[in-house]
Structure 1
Amino acid sequence: MAKKDVNEMSFLDHLEDLRWHLIRIVTAVVICGTVAFCFPSILFDNILFAPQKMTFPTYQWLCNMSQVFGMEDMSFCADSFPFIIQNREMAGQFSIHIWTSIYAGFIVAFPYVIYQLWKFISPGLTSKEKKTSTGFIIISSLLFFMGVLFGYYIITPLSINFLGTYSVSSDVSNEIDISSYVGLVRAAVIASGIIFELPILIYFLTKVGLVTPQFLRKYRKFALVIVLILSAIITPPDIASQIIVAIPVLVLYEVSIHISRIVIKKDTKKQKKQVRKTS
């Protein structure tokens, strides 16, 4: 049966269309997650557990920087972290394996997820806007993967280095549960990926008239406070880590202002052309 025109579709038709897009998204995530589930050594040993080893590239770089600047804190140059990862529940490792595979499936399938969401909203767009779909999918995916890499190579090692070495007393040893460790890595990676989608969010908010460049500039100070709060939530409570995380987010905010200005400029030109045609 041919697909109905968007103007002829009822509310239930839209819900049915959305349901099929969501089914395709879930199917893609499950397929990618199943592949990840079949390779636990790569998923856990080579990826998830890599940041808790001092051979991780970030620690090597920070160690070199510490030596160059003569910093007294050489915790990045240690041989190993003073903690172990353990499992305390009977089904703990199996549960972690399943959920981590699902998260990995979502990350890998993200371009397809964005594509399906775009397919759902594209019938309501003009033909010119539909032509930009390829660029939208590529940019959204690129920003997301940049955020994932930032979370994995910056936020995760900083968090593990701070929290894994923190001690209130020499009588207390750190024996970290696997769910706590994996949860930290997953949260840092996914949160960073979502935060890096800020320019895309601003683009759509500008298109629907909820945000303007003037609004973003006016409340830049409030945005700075929000960014610092987010940085404090997803990073250890030390100033250096928060600044490292805040800088790229602030850059993304400034980029978003520029994007909003471009969108407003294009919409203004379009309105002027329409006025000329009608007059």
Structure 2
Amino acid sequence: MSSEDEVVEAHKMPLLDHLIELRQRLLYSVIGLFVAFLVCFFFAQDLYNFLVQPLANILLAHGQGSDVFMHPENQPPPRMIFTDLTEVFFTYIKVAFFFAAFIMCPLFLTQIWLFVAPGLYKNEKKALAPFLIASPILFLLGAALVYFVLLPFAWRFFLHFQQPGGPETLAIQLEAKVDQYLALTMKLIFAFGLCFQLPVIMTLLARVGLATSQGMKEKRKYAIVITFILAAIFTPPDPLSQISLALPILVLYEISIQMARLVEKERAKREAELDREAGID
């Protein structure tokens, strides 16, 4: 056992001290989240407008109606509506909490690390630290894919279902509700962000021996089917959105296989070194 590992063993805390330490870390996280929430609530309207921007860009660019959508002379300017007096207020609260949690994610992960790191050995710290860094980055990539790629395509697809009114037909026109738009957008962001954690999860499973690269390769066909099923559940009911989620997940699955292979090679190398040291002893 190395000197650092001996220090870890010597400084192990009793259960009560662990609970006190946990309470302290949770308190820091809650205070940070509350402060960030207050700041985000002050800018809630701007933050909501940011989330609405992909839809606004399309509606304002087309006036909600070149021949792609409807005739502009037959309809009012683009808008969003609310049907409950408290709807906008509680929507802004949700927006503020959503962005506060996103902004404070590094703080949460730092508090988790400060809580568990003293009880980890040196090799365990080296193994866990990269995942704490990669996790928020992958979530951000998933959210960016939703905002910049999926939402413009999906909203354009759905807007094509509008139709102008006629002598014998009623107009079908979008009247987007404030809270429903936020719910759908947050659902997509969370779905993509969580799915982008796949390499982190699978690599951790490979490190503890619960998954292997060979096993993942053999189950690839099942993973494809499950991926498209999950994509159908978490995205709007159109093929474009489902494929937009399914394809990145499949790419991440292949990356997970390669990461698991690297973990196995590292483990085999470490075991070979231990065998050589044991042979020398």
TM-score (ref. length: structure 2): 0.78
Question: Number of aligned pairs?
Answer: 260
Deviation at 1:259, TM superposition (A): 0.8
Aligned: 1:178 with 2:214: no
C-alpha distance in 2 between matches for 1:19 and 1:160: 44
Q: Counterpart amino acid of 2:244?
A: I
Task: Judge which range, 4-13 or 242-251, deviates more.
Answer: 4-13
Pick closer, same or farther for the CA change 1:121–1:170 going to 2, 3 Å: farther
Q: How does 1:160-175 map to 2 (within 5 A)?
A: 160-166=155-161, 170=170, 173-175=173-175
SS for the counterpart of 1:54 is helix
Q: Is the 8 A contact 2:154 2:240 kept in 1?
A: no
SS for the counterpart of 1:209 is coil
Per-residue CA deviations over 1:117-152 (Å, capped at 9, x if unaligned) read 233333343214424666444322221111110121
Q: How does 1:1-279 map to 2 (within 5 A)?
A: 8-45=12-49, 47-55=50-58, 75=68, 84-131=79-126, 135-166=130-161, 170=170, 173-279=173-279
Q: Is the 8 A contact 1:25 1:112 kept in 2?
A: yes
Deviation at 1:170, TM superposition (A): 3.9
Task: Judge which range, 200-209 or 29-38, deviates more.
Answer: 29-38
C-alpha distance in 2 between matches for 1:195 and 1:81: 39
C-alpha distance in 2 between matches for 1:81 and 1:160: 19
SS for the counterpart of 1:49 is helix
SS for the counterpart of 1:256 is helix
Pick closer, same or farther for the CA change 1:247–1:119 going to 2, 3 Å: same
Q: Is the 8 A contact 1:162 1:236 kept in 2?
A: no
C-alpha distance in 2 between matches for 1:214 and 1:5: 36
Pick closer, same or farther for the CA change 1:37–1:173 going to 2, 3 Å: same
Q: Counterpart amino acid of 2:250?
A: L
Alignment RMSD: 3.3
Q: Is the 8 A contact 1:143 1:196 kept in 2?
A: yes
SS for the counterpart of 1:236 is coil
**Higher CA-based Rg:** 2
C-alpha distance in 2 between matches for 1:129 and 1:75: 57
Deviation at 1:75, TM superposition (A): 4.7
C-alpha distance in 1 between matches for 2:214 and 2:100: 39
Q: Counterpart amino acid of 2:95?
A: T
Pick closer, same or farther for the CA change 1:10–1:91 going to 2, 3 Å: same
Is there any run of 5+ residues in structure 1 with no aligned partner, and where? 61-73
Deviation at 1:81, TM superposition (A): 11
Q: Counterpart amino acid of 2:218?
A: K
